[in-house]
Amino acid sequence: MWAILTLLVENKPGILFKVTHLFRSRNFNIDSISVGVTDNPEYSRMTITTYGDEKQVEQIVKQLDKMIDVLEVKHLDEHKTVYRELSIFKIKLSNANDSMEVNKLANAYGGKIHDVRKDSIMVELTATPDQIRAFEELAKPFGIIEVARTGVAALQRSGA
């Protein structure tokens, strides 16, 4: 299963290294990881998405929880969570219609257009990883030159 984990960690050098090292040495997978400081500069929040069966995810959570620099770790229920990822696509434009077609596609996914050139266009899309993958599939026929993705950021909904 795909799991979203949220971690509150000490905002100190070397913590990202320790967390990622734990995944490596325990033979777990990181699907995506994003880190940023919280409103309290002493803490950072990490959002990690991972794959594993229920037992493995439980073990990942326990091993992370054991880390002294990790103050809190939660396995988020994706149905009770707001989670988004930022992605930027550079897409090839081969003929006159392509620009309009890509524009339409981007609009359908709530994307923004940047840096329109004669032979390429950039689309910024903030969405769930599934939506980004779907967009990617539809953009493929135009030719994707480059993609950059940030990994998921997630917070549990209040009252959930």
Partner 1 sequence: MNKMETMTGARALMVAMEKEGVKEVFGLPGGANLPMYDEFARCNIRHILVRHEQSAAHMADGFGRVSRKPGVCFATSGPGATNILTGIATAQADSSPMIAVTGQVPVAMIGKDAFQESDIIGMANPAVKYAFQPRSPDEIPMVVRKGFYIAETGRPGPVLIDIPKDVQQKEASMIFPDEFKIRGYHPWTNPDMANVERAIEMLLSAERPIILAGGGTIISSAFAELQSIAELLMIPVVTTFKGKGAFPENHPLSLGPIGMHGHAEANKMMTEADCVLAIGTRFSDRSVGTFEAFEKRLKIIHMDVDPAEIGKNQTTSVAVVGDVRASLRIMVKMLMQKAIKRTEENTWIKHVKETKEYWKENLKLHPGEMGAAKILRKLREVLPHESIVTTEVGQHQMWASLFYDVIQPGTFFSSTGLGTMGWGFPAAIGAKVARPDVPVVDIAGDGSFSMTENSLATAVLEDIPVIVFLLNNFTLGMVAQWQRTFYNRRMIGVDQGKCPDYVKLAESYGAQGIRAQSMDELDKAIKTALNSDVATVIDIPIDPEEDVLPFVAPGTSLADMILPS
Chain residues in the site for partner 1 (CB under 8 A): 9-10, 14, 17-18, 21-22, 25, 55, 58-59, 62-63, 65-71
**Closest listed residue to residue 149, CA positions, set 140, 135, 157:** 135
Q: How far is the CB of 79 from partner 1 (least distance, A)?
A: 25
Distance between CA atoms of 106 and 36, rounded to whole angstroms?
Answer: 27
Whether 123 and 133 have beta carbons less than 8 Å apart is answered as no
Nearer to partner 1, 58 or 119 (CB): 58
Nearer Cβ to partner 1 (55/79): 55
CB of 72 to partner 1, least distance (A): 8
Integer Cα distance of 91 and 145 in angstroms: 6
Q: How far is the CB of 44 from partner 1 (least distance, A)?
A: 12
